[in-house]
Amino acid sequence: MQPINATLCSPSDFMGWRSLSRDFLNRQVEANTIHWSIQEPDILYTPQSERILPNASSPLKIPRFFGRLMSAVFASSLPDRFDRLYRALEHIQTHGEPSTKDLQDFKQVAAEVRTQILALRNTFPENRILDWQIIRTDYPPQLIDSQIGPLGRLRTAPWILLSDARTLCWDGQDYRIGPALTDTPLSDADLVSHAQQTATATRANAHWHGLGTVHVTPTDHDTCQVQSLPALRSLAVDCSFCDLCHHATRTVFGEGSQEARLLFVGEQPGDQEDLQGRPFVGPAGQLFDRALQEAGGDRHEAWISNAVKHFKFVRKGNRRIHQKPGSAEVHACAPWVAAERRILSPKVTVMLGVTGASALLGRPVTVSRERSRLFTLEDGSIGLVTVHPSYLLRLPDDDAKTREYIKFVADLRMAISALA
């Protein structure tokens, strides 16, 4: 059989590789006749472009777990990864299942890629830092591009990612892709401007469709092993412990000081939290900030989190209406809060509302009966139950709101005094 040249538009061209591979498999083209190469077209970084690829249907049923391994191998630095992946498909076509050797090899490569992805995510600052952030990395472009979606969910505030092969710009809404910067201006402001001019390819450029996102699906075991809050946040991006992950925009992880001795645990993110990727930034969060300040506290010195990390809602027209999380969702999310408490080892934990209190105490809680008193938690630290600030917003009249707000501030003051 005559040699076949299979040309991809970039090292990240998963869609191109998949389309060509399906076509080759349908035509029963042998792996040893295919020469895989990369040739960047002139229109690779234009804002818009079309692309014609073979439209062959998939001749194979690939096990889902093996498909995930293949995505990770594609994002790896293996020089022969295109060929090895095609040979794996060829084996499935002949034998009906992946080979034992492919399984072993791909699992090892996927583990290495997973470690690299988490390390890349760890370099991204929290969303409370609102100005443009510049992240430099030396990871290969295919690994970087496999994380474009997750990185946008991880950090909603704007960022620029620079590598030897790629420039990525995220403006808080969407991303643009460009080649590596050849000139590096001295000031950060000039660098951001230069990067924005360089990264010109948008989602409308078909050469950047289907990049083969690699998800790092966490397990309970992972949450028990992580030793830092940034690493835990990086892992939580792909949380799928319950079905809420399929509807919410992103995981909303805790934020604050990594040296915090005071931990606040609420119920779940709301609409604004889900959009901004930060806990307690909506109307209830603004009321909480004001009350905490009046009590003598500082949000930046505490750690603010929720018992459930995804927004549960129902749609009503264009609005997303908050829904109380169920016990199954609270239980599924428990490893995240447990890991936050293990890493922080706070002296005082304030439970805001029924869900936050029940999640931490592991039993039904009546807030009106248990609020406004300090008690000892199982680990020997101090706990305090109070209302959730959203409760204050729902009160029917101004007098009731004033009375309850004063009590809420007093509860927060009690928790802060317990730190001494």
Show which of 208, 237, 258 is a domain's final residue. 208
Residue 215 belongs to a domain: no
> Can you give the pLDDT at residue 374?
97
> Can you give the pLDDT at residue 186?
74
**Do residues 204 and 235 share a domain?**
no
**Do residues 22 and 80 share a domain?**
yes
**Do residues 359 and 407 share a domain?**
yes
Residue 185 confidence (pLDDT) above 80: no
**Do residues 265 and 193 share a domain?**
no
Confidence grade of residue 182 (pLDDT, cut at 50, 70, 90): confident
Question: ∠ CA 183-185-188 to the nearest 5 degrees?
Answer: 135
User: In this predicted model, what pLDDT tens digit does every residue of 122-156 receive, in sequence order?
Assistant: 999 999 999 999 999 999 999 999 999 999 999 99
What mean pLDDT is predicted for residues 89-106? Answer: 96
Show which of 181, 208, 235 is a domain's final residue. 208
What mean pLDDT is predicted for residues 81-96? Answer: 97
> Can you give the pLDDT at residue 339?
97
Q: What is the pTM of this model?
A: 0.94
User: In this predicted model, what pLDDT tens digit does every residue of 277-308 receive, in sequence order?
Assistant: 999 999 999 999 999 999 999 999 999 999 99
Provide the number of structural domains found in the chain: 3
**Do residues 200 and 238 share a domain?**
no
| Whether the Cβ atoms of residue 233 and residue 290 lie closer than 8 Å to each other | no
Q: What is the CATH number of the domain that holds 414?
A: 3.40.470.10
Give the Cα separation of 148 and 181 in Å (integer). 18
**Do residues 139 and 198 share a domain?**
yes
Q: Which domain holds residue 49?
A: 4-118
What mean pLDDT is predicted for residues 387-414? Answer: 96
- Name the 3-class secondary structure at 160: strand
Residue 1 confidence (pLDDT) above 90: no
What mean pLDDT is predicted for residues 309-332? Answer: 95
| Whether the Cβ atoms of residue 255 and residue 279 lie closer than 8 Å to each other | yes
Confidence grade of residue 325 (pLDDT, cut at 50, 70, 90): very high
Which parts of 13-99 fold into alpha helices (H)?
A: 14-26, 64-74, 81-95
What mean pLDDT is predicted for residues 47-57? Answer: 94
**Do residues 294 and 411 share a domain?**
yes
Confidence grade of residue 59 (pLDDT, cut at 50, 70, 90): confident
Give the Cα separation of 193 and 407 in Å (integer). 49
In sequence order, what DSSP letters do the residues of 342-364 get, joined into one string? HHH--SEEEEEHHHHHHHHHTS-
Residue 336 belongs to a domain: yes
Strand order of the sheet with strand 262-266? Answer: 255-256, 303-306, 262-266, 348-352, 382-386, 374-376
Residue 371 confidence (pLDDT) above 90: yes
**Do residues 286 and 385 share a domain?**
yes
Residue 187 confidence (pLDDT) above 90: no
Residue 239 confidence (pLDDT) above 90: yes
Give the Cα separation of 62 and 80 in Å (integer). 21
Show which of 72, 100, 118 is a domain's final residue. 118
**Do residues 263 and 401 share a domain?**
yes
Residue 109 belongs to a domain: yes
Helix (H) / strand (E) element for 112: namely helix 100-122
**Do residues 225 and 204 share a domain?**
no
Residue 214 belongs to a domain: no
Residue 195 belongs to a domain: yes
**Do residues 290 and 403 share a domain?**
yes
Give the Cα separation of 132 and 408 in Å (integer). 36
**Do residues 77 and 156 share a domain?**
no
| Whether the Cβ atoms of residue 113 and residue 75 lie closer than 8 Å to each other | yes
Q: Across the chain, what does the average pLDDT equal? A: 96
| Whether the Cβ atoms of residue 133 and residue 160 lie closer than 8 Å to each other | yes
In this structure, what DSSP letter does residue 125 have?
P
Residue 184 confidence (pLDDT) above 90: no
* Percent of the chain whose pLDDT exceeds 70: 100
Give the Cα separation of 136 and 144 in Å (integer). 11
Residue 213 belongs to a domain: no
Helix (H) / strand (E) element for 176: namely strand 175-178
